[in-house]
Amino acid sequence: MNPISRRNILAVGAAGGLLAASSAAMGQTSPQLPQPSRAAGVGGNVPGPRDITRDRENPDMLNPPSTDQGTLPNLRFSFADAHTKQSDGGWTRQVTQRELGISTTLAGVEMRLDAGSIRELHWHKQAEWAYMLYGTARITAIDQDGNNFVDDVGVGDLWYFPGGVPHSIQGLGPDGCEFLLVFDDGSFDEDDTFLITDWFKRIPQEVLGKNFGVSGDNFAHLPDPSQRYIFKSEVPGPLGPDRLRGAKPVPLTFKHQLMAQDPIRTKGGTVRIADSSVFKASKNIAVALVEIEPGGMRELHWHPNVDEWQYYIEGQARMGVFAAQGAARTFDYRAGDVGYVPFAMGHYIENTGNTPVRFLEMFRSSYYADLSLDQWMALTPPQLLRAHFPLDQTVMDSLHKKKYPVVPA
């Protein structure tokens, strides 16, 4: 029998069609495909394998501005590329120094809790800062003096638990919650926490009995710790009864309503800053929530105290970073991405989409600080400034002695 049957021929023909289509894509026959080329004689096309979706999402990586030069470490990682740990009550995923090597000072976790689901009673060595992205949750904690904290948080609210403080989080109705957690250690691992069920399982029953003044037999049927961490439960009732009678409240609330703050407003957007000056409990993490209108830009600036860790909530943007010694690099960001700027490096964030960009600037610090290039130049003697640049009077007159953190298109 002829081994080349009609079915074989059809299969080969179909494969050939796919190969031709693939070759056409790889050969860049479509003018709509992004190219690593700025002008004639600079760059070229991509005839080999490529991820076109990624190239379109990262145009400044494929075709960087001519001002980019030198080598900088990667300053971007997407939560979409992070491993998702699932349970019957929700999920969690993290971006730490393991995923983004440059991120030595802070690490982030996204977490989803279904309605009623509980992130079990636990504590960890690192301080925990949080921003509510969706829904509502109930949070609880106590401090070292036996003071009690119970409150509900909604979209835009923050919480902060110092390292070692035991706490819990529970999703409320109707659809639970999603939130961002930030920890003051880039090597933090969400799995490396002290869980109450895990500890109970590692203590002899007679010791548990002695500690609580009951028979050790009461602890014969403890839950498997692997079935907790994030687990289903009933949606709690009104907040009032959970604020236990006779319990003393913590002296500094662990909750802060960031969206209730009056923002810094410019024609290009808004900035809300929350550090220990307004959120007293947040001793080790400071934040700015930045909103940039289409075409607007977070002005050219740098931070004189610590590294910056970013989380993009919505929109799309590009960030250009200047690292001194002639080195600069540009990165593109979308919702769910993490950005990072090492200490003192100059940078800007520009809205490259047609909708507002909203992102968080995070710092392992008790206070927020930035330095504006525009303000620096405006507060420098004009003759000294002109000795550096041949600036005409139009530029000199445009400089601002007051800081404008977001500039318009």
Is there a binding annotation on residue 122?
yes
Q: Is 361 designated active site?
A: yes
Is there a binding annotation on residue 128?
yes
**How are beta strands 177-183 and 128-135 bridged, if at all?**
antiparallel
**DSSP category for residue 229:** S
Q: 381: Cβ–Cβ under 8 A, 6 or more apart, which residues? A: none
Q: Of the residues 120, 178, 293, 361, which is catalytic? A: 361
What 3-state DSSP class applies to 336?
coil
Rounded distance between C-alpha atoms, residue 77 and residue 398, angstroms? 36
**DSSP category for residue 69:** B
CA–CA distance from 21 to each of 24, 56, 62, 315 (Å)? 5, 19, 22, 32
Neighbours of 155 (CB within 10 A): 14
Is there a binding annotation on residue 303?
yes
Rounded distance between C-alpha atoms, residue 263 and residue 237, angstroms? 34
Rounded distance between C-alpha atoms, residue 138 and residue 24, angstroms? 55
Q: Evaluate whether 365 touches 306 at the Cβ level (below 8 Å).
A: yes
- From the number of C-beta atoms within 10 Å of its C-beta (0-12, 13-18, 19+), residue 235 rates as middle
Is there a binding annotation on residue 347?
yes
Is there a binding annotation on residue 308?
yes
CA–CA distance from 253 to each of 86, 144, 197, 266, 279 (Å)? 31, 14, 27, 31, 8
Q: Evaluate whether 268 touches 296 at the Cβ level (below 8 Å).
A: yes
Is there a binding annotation on residue 301?
yes
Q: Which parts of 96-207 are beta strand (E)? A: 107-113, 118-123, 128-135, 137-142, 148-153, 157-161, 167-171, 177-183, 194-195
Supply the residues annotated as catalytic: 361
Annotated binding site for Mn(2+): 122, 124, 128, 167, 301, 303, 308, 347
Annotated binding site: 122, 124, 128, 167, 301, 303, 308, 347
